[in-house]
Structure 1
C-alpha cells in the first residue's frame, strides 16, 4: 500500500495521534508525518530486517514530543522524544507503537515507504 493518504483520513489520523500523545503526556506533538504503506515493510524499515509483521496496509505516523507513560503508582514506564504509531486504515485502531529516546532514534527515510504527508500542528 504505497499510496497517498486520503484527505478524509487526515483528521482521523490526527485525532488518533493526539489521543495517544495525551495518554503519553504530550499535549502538542510536533513534526508529525504520515505515510500509507505496508505493516511488514514499515516494521523492517524502522526495527530492522529481521522483524516480521503482517503483510497488511498500515498508516505509519511519526511524531516528536516529550512522551512519558506514567503508571498509577507514579512511576514512568518508558519515555522518549520520538514516536512511531502504526494505525490501521478504515478503523484507525492502534496496531502498535514505539517510543525512542533522543540517542536511539533510527535513521529512517519514510519516503522509501511511500508518499510522506506532513500533518498540521
Structure 2
C-alpha cells in the first residue's frame, strides 16, 4: 500500500477547479474536485507535456489540456479525445480532517 502525503487544505480545492501540487518525489499532481469528490491525476499532459492544472475541468468528468485539446476522464485517466494517446496516471486522494492526502505513487 502506498503512503499518502498531505498536499493541500480541502478549502483550497474549489468545486470544478484544478490545483497544482507537488509530491516529495517532485511529481507534479493535478488535484480536482468534481461533484464534491476530490481526485488526483498526473499534472503533465501525455501528448505535449503541458500542465493539466492550467486546463479545464468539464462537468462531464473530463479534464482538457488547453494546449491542443486532449481530454482525459478525470476518474480513470483514460484518453477520451486525441491528440493524446497515453492515459494520465491516477493517484489515490483521500480527505482527512480537512486536508487532502495523495498517494506517493500512482494507482494506475
Q: When the two structures are superposed, what TM-score results if normalisation uses the length of structure 2?
A: 0.28
Which structure shows the bigger proportion of residues in helix conformation? 1
Q: When the two structures are superposed, what TM-score results if normalisation uses the length of structure 1?
A: 0.26
